[in-house]
A and B are shown apart, each in its own frame.
Chain A
Amino acid sequence: EVLLVQSGAEVKKPGESLKISCKGSGYSFTSYWIGWVRQMPGNGLEWMGIIYPGDSDTRYSPSFQGQVTISADKSISTAYLQWSSLKASDTAMYYCVRPSRSGWPFDYWGQGTLVTVSS
């Protein structure tokens, strides 16, 4: 069974750094792209970026380029989403996702990680 298991909720202050994780299991981690989707409170879904763990090829949405860093450690089948300096506007639910079908829909989703940034 394919599973994406994310790290737990975080509460941070503005200016702090953060790295959240998504561990894949039940499949060959290096063979599938894995991405991140943001959902701000009461809002819709926004695709942030995606990485291919096999060679670390990474693509970002223009809206998130330079704002976050996506990485992966294939030795532990884990993808990461990282901020160097959080803002209150980063408060959101973050989902990791895996496209695997023709047409590239996100057919697997993690359970979500809630990030709260507040002074």
Chain B
Amino acid sequence: DIQMTQSPSTLSASVGDRVTITCRASQSVSSWLAWYQQKPGKAPKLLIYEASSLESGVPSRFSGSGSGTEFTLTISSLQPDDFATYYCQQYNSYSWTFGQGTKVEIK
């Protein structure tokens, strides 16, 4: 199984900050990498797919980059609505794995 490791586990930031979350895969996943946002009590929401494609309706302050084993999610200017937990996810041959999550908290 491919393992996904996110860092950091928790991130404290202020409104307006540029925030970067990293996701590493235990082996290459090409560009089959997605990012999700989850708020308490809600289902996760897809933000980015294929490593860097922005899902329809997602604000442009969210961006994704990377390929192979190293990926990043960047929020260019953190907004109050962005305080949530973020997960990366890989897909490979009918198998999916999530990272352990990164909680973005208010500083």
| A positions within 8 Å CB-CB of B | 35, 44-47, 50, 59, 61-62, 95, 99, 101-107, 109-112
B residues near A46, Cβ cutoff 8 Å: 98
14 A-B pairs with C-beta separation under 8 A: A44-B87, A44-B98, A45-B36, A45-B87, A45-B89, A47-B89, A47-B97, A61-B95, A103-B34, A105-B50, A106-B34, A106-B44, A109-B44, A111-B43
Shortest distance between the CB of A53 and any CB in chain B (Å):
15
Q: Mark B28-40, 1 if CB is under 8 A from A, else 0.
A: 0001111010100
A residues near B38, Cβ cutoff 8 Å: 45
Contact of B31 among A99, A103, A106 (CB under 8 A): A103
A residues near B94, Cβ cutoff 8 Å: 50, 59
Contact of B91 among A62, A105, A111 (CB under 8 A): A105
Is B82 located at the chain interface by the 8 A CB criterion?
no
Do B50 and A102 touch (CB < 8 A)?
A: yes
A residues near B98, Cβ cutoff 8 Å: 44-47
Do B95 and A105 touch (CB < 8 A)?
A: no
Shortest distance between the CB of B73 and any CB in chain A (Å):
13
Chain A residue at minimal CB-CB distance from B1: A62
Do A59 and B95 touch (CB < 8 A)?
A: yes
Give the most central of A45, A46, A61: most B CB within 10 Å. A45
A104 to B95, CA, bound (A): 10
Do B95 and A103 touch (CB < 8 A)?
A: no
Contact of A105 among B1, B49, B100 (CB under 8 A): B49
A101 to B89, CA, bound (A): 14
